Copies of this chain bind each other. A is one copy, B any other.
C-alpha cells in the first residue's frame, strides 16, 4: 500500500525562506516521522518563491520580438518578454497559446511563467533556475535535520499534445532514479521485456497532485510506501530527450 499525505498549514513562502526547514516544521506539526519509503513531492511555486524567482511585469521593457508575438498570442508584451527570456526557442504561438522550449529543456506553455497564486496583480513566477539542484538542496537540508535520506521531486502542471487537461510532472528531482527500467526483466510468461521504461517521478508527481490540487494550498505531499532503491539520476540527465531525437518536433 502507498499513502499520499498532504503537508498542510505551510505558510506563505517568500524569498530566502528555507524550504527544508518549512517541511521539517510541517512534519513535526503533523507528528510525522520520516521513513525510508518516503518521497517528498513539492510544488514548483513555493520553491520558486523561496528562490526569489518573481518578476514584476511593470519593470519589464519588452523587445520588438515580444511585442510582435504578444499580438499573436494575446499575452501582454511584458509577459511575452519574460516568456522569451526563459526560452531557448518558441515552438508554437497561435490561438492564444505560446509553447516554448525552456532553458532547462522543458517544452511547455509560457516557459512555465505563471501568474496564479502569486501576490501582486502584475507579478509572475518563473521556474527555478536549476530544479534538480533545488531538489538536492531541499533533500540535503532535510537530511541534516532528520538524518533520513529523503528523495525530493519538484513538480509543475503541464499541458500535453493530443489529450485535454494538464497533469503534474517532475521538473527537478534528487535521490530517486526518474526512470524505472524494465528492459531485460521477465514478464509473467517468462519473456524478456523489450522496451519498457516507466517515468516513475512523473507518476509520483501525478499522484501528489491528487492531494495538492489548485485551491487547497497543500504545496507538499509525502508519498509513503513507494519502494525504490535506485537513487541515481535527475530530471536533466534522465528525462529530457535531446533536440533532434524526438519524432514530434
Residue ranges of A at the interface with B (Cβ–Cβ < 8 Å): 1-6, 92, 94-95, 97, 99, 107, 115-119, 121, 157, 160-169, 178-180, 182, 185-189, 191, 193-194, 196-200, 202-204, 206-207, 209-211, 213-215, 217, 223, 226, 238-241, 246-249
Nearest chain B residue, comparing its CB with the CB of A186: B215
Contact call B157/A196, Cβ cutoff below 8 A: yes
How far apart sit A157 and B92, CA to CA, in the bound complex (Å)? 27
Enumerate chain B residues within 8 angstroms of A188, measured Cβ to Cβ: 117, 215, 217
Contact call A247/B187, Cβ cutoff below 8 A: no
How far apart sit A206 and B169, CA to CA, in the bound complex (Å)? 11
Nearest chain B residue, comparing its CB with the CB of A165: B199
Number of copies: 2
Contact call B165/A179, Cβ cutoff below 8 A: yes
Nearest chain B residue, comparing its CB with the CB of A115: B191
Enumerate chain B residues within 8 angstroms of A2, measured Cβ to Cβ: 3-4, 207, 210-211
From known contacts A2-B211, A215-B185, infer whether A165 and B239 are also in contact, taking CB-CB under 8 Å.
yes
Contact call B162/A241, Cβ cutoff below 8 A: yes
How far apart sit A169 and B214, CA to CA, in the bound complex (Å)? 21
Enumerate chain B residues within 8 angstroms of A213, measured Cβ to Cβ: 180, 198
Contact of A4 (CB < 8 Å), options: B4, B97, B247: B4
How far apart sit A118 and B189, CA to CA, in the bound complex (Å)? 7
Enumerate chain B residues within 8 angstroms of A6, measured Cβ to Cβ: 1
Contact call B238/A164, Cβ cutoff below 8 A: yes
Nearest chain B residue, comparing its CB with the CB of A204: B210
Nearest chain B residue, comparing its CB with the CB of A101: B162
Contact call A97/B207, Cβ cutoff below 8 A: no
Contact call A185/B214, Cβ cutoff below 8 A: yes
Enumerate chain B residues within 8 angstroms of A97, measured Cβ to Cβ: 247
Contact of A198 (CB < 8 Å), options: B162, B167, B198: B167
From known contacts A2-B4, A99-B247, A188-B217, infer whether A167 and B210 are also in contact, taking CB-CB under 8 Å.
no
Enumerate chain B residues within 8 angstroms of A197, measured Cβ to Cβ: 164-166
From known contacts A2-B3, A169-B163, infer whether A116 and B193 are also in contact, taking CB-CB under 8 Å.
yes
Contact call A165/B202, Cβ cutoff below 8 A: yes
Enumerate chain B residues within 8 angstroms of A241, measured Cβ to Cβ: 162-164
